[in-house]
Structure 1
Amino acid sequence: MQQIIDRFISYVTIDTESDSSSETTPSTVKQWDLAHKLVEELKTIGLQDVTIDDKAYIMATLPSNVEQEVPTIGFISHFDTTPDFTGANVKPQIIPNYDGKDIVLNADQNIILSPTYFKDLLQYKGQTLITTDGTTLLGADDKAGITEIVTAMEFLINNPDIKHGKIRVGFTPDEEIGRGAHHFDVEKFGCDWAYTMDGSQIGELEYENFNAAGAKITFKGKSVHPGYAKGKMINSMLIVNDFINELPKGETPQETKGYQGFFHVHHLTGSIEETVLELIIRDHNKKKFEKRKELIAKISQKFNKKFAKQFGEDIVIAEVKDQYYNMKEKVVPVKHIVDIAEKAMKELGIKPVIKPIRGGTDGCQLSYKGLPCPNIFAGGHNFHGKYEYVPVESMQKAVEVIVRIAELTAKGDFIKKEVKSKIK
């Protein structure tokens, strides 16, 4: 496991935070630092056709070592980290043989990773954990996935007796800001299907995700001296407050789970004259998703009608843009690709945790670009913050899952059954 630890730490100590306000790809220059390192590492371990394009998309090939024709599969992860929390100067801490008690991340700032609050920790008693020092995120999302893919490919190269078909590897920038698949060349990648290694706890296997949209809503106001404001001032900040109160109560991230959708207000800036509200809209059900977007329009119209005479024009301008859709529609017709991953886990003694993703991955967009792409666990917990951690044993198991999927695909049993069932 030391190889996994060393490789993972070499990745997370490179700052790759993305930036949604940037119009370039990758969105930050510093993402190139890890991208170039990965290219050299892929060449060093012996992969072929290692390429990186002008937008930092990396691809590589592990040639087939079987004579029969089998599907070409891919494994994909992203190397950027979220802008929600700093990823600069990450100082990982290694906790061997975790004893199930509180972990002091930062004594000076009294930052504690406690199983009392984060109950999932107790699953990993006796294992080796990698945590933050309490001042940054860790970056297991998704450098754990990259670690696992590279390690699995190196293992297959060093063990040619393990039979597999052609495998393609892909690493992307800017996934955390929703752009990871935007410039991904599916045709160049050339796979029948792929898997993103971008899930959380051990056993996760996901082929459903939210339909997603983002909304930027601008509220106009009129600033007048407060001593003479009667009937004249329009405070845009107060209108925003009323607008938020029009949204369904209890339909926020902190109050929903499973297949329940939500509205999530994540940024608010403004003054009397103008306030901008940013929120995201999420729902697994396509009809409910459309109704959520319609509700934003209806509330906007309500306020515009209310202030039409006083303001003279629309006081609320709502821009709603779709971000990605539920991959289930594209994966279910080729469900055997999920079955292969499930079988791989079971054969390795891992209990599959098949559930909807309350979020998205590159695989969501890739599935709609013609590359069906379920999501497999990478092992980390508490992503996007200072309490993030990853059990090393979970990363090791993820490596084994990749290898086993490659073996099962080369045997072709699932594919043959799928074709036969369709003929019937």
Structure 2
Amino acid sequence: MSDDVRASLSDVFREEHGRLLASMVHRYGDIDLAEEVTSEAIEVALQRWPIDGVPTKPGAWLLTTARRRAVDRLRRDRTLSTKLAILQIEQDRAGIGQRTESLAAGAFDDDVPDERLQMFFMCAHPALNVDDRVALTLRCLAQLTTAEVARAFMIPSSTAGQRISRAKKKIREARVPFRIPGPDELPARLTVVLQVVYSIFTEGYAASSGDDLVRVDLADEAIRLARILQALLPREREVTGLLALMLSVHARSAARVAGDGTLVMLDQQDRARWDREMIDEGADLTVRALTGGAAGPYSVQAAIAALHVESETWEATDWAQIVELYGVLMSLAPSPVVAVNRAAAIAVRDGPVAGLMELDALADEPALQAYSPYHAARGDVLSRLGASSDAATCFERACATAGSIPERDYLRRRADEAREAAGS
């Protein structure tokens, strides 16, 4: 199989996987079964499409193949005979071909006009623990690996795997219904869905592994989903805030990577390469998110991101306001990560000594021990203070816990520079 054909197939599978899995879960109410037959359908396509060509309607082809695999599995499993009987009755009434076409076209409830978002809301069922809901959705529906899910939670991969397994078990044992929630149920499930969408974006904007710093497909998908949510729930200001945040951050993507693939930090970026149209849209949405009452966490983060992209230079950035906003964010959604970002901003506003004091106060936080940005931030302020040997140690630790290759290369270079400065 040529590289071009493989790339073309990957694009199709990436686009169709979520829709296919959603259709299978919606139809059979069994996540494990849906995952298995979805994977099998894609494996069959990988074998046949390079020879027969990609079908005119790849989604319908995959759906038909997955359905047949599901029927075969149900027939082999005597404990699921009841499900099989129900399935046969449905097929007799509606007709297999007609059902296949309607599902392939995304014939779900019109309240949520996207199959993947529908499944996000389904998996946000209140019977599940909040963290388990997010982990399950990220792994099964957003197609993040278990390691990427772990990174989103800043936990070991084994713990992320346990959360996913626990959620599936709860769904089976409690017989959690797989149905599309009604309009009145959407707001109660929204927090989990927003967390999932933002986690997808975060993995896209700063990949946790691989050769590329940015996974544009994931970042774009998260923004697409947020746009649908914003149109669906225009009065939910945190939806608007999340969309604004992602636009303001994603606008810098082109400048974050140099021509040779190396990472470029914010203070060194060519701001002429930033997407001004995206910045303007993000700014307008930020104002809307902050208008009409107390702001939520995503809206506050959107305000911080807007201050960064609206500044003509690094030096002209309103660091005093950014520090204040991080203080507000700490009161709304306190976390070690927010504290690290606030400390880094203090280091710019008040100098490296003040920043180091803030960072050192976080030294015993368990979640930060393997958090690369924390060690990188300490390395940066120590370098500015002339403590080159200690800075090198911090950069080396940051490198050891970093995700993508461009990130690791950058941190290794900083470590080498600090070691050289320490020896001179």
Higher helix fraction (1 or 2): 2
TM range (shorter): under 0.3
Higher strand fraction (1 or 2): 1
TM-score under structure 1 length normalisation: 0.22
TM-score under structure 2 length normalisation: 0.22
Greater relative CO (CA pairs within 8 A, separation 6+): 1
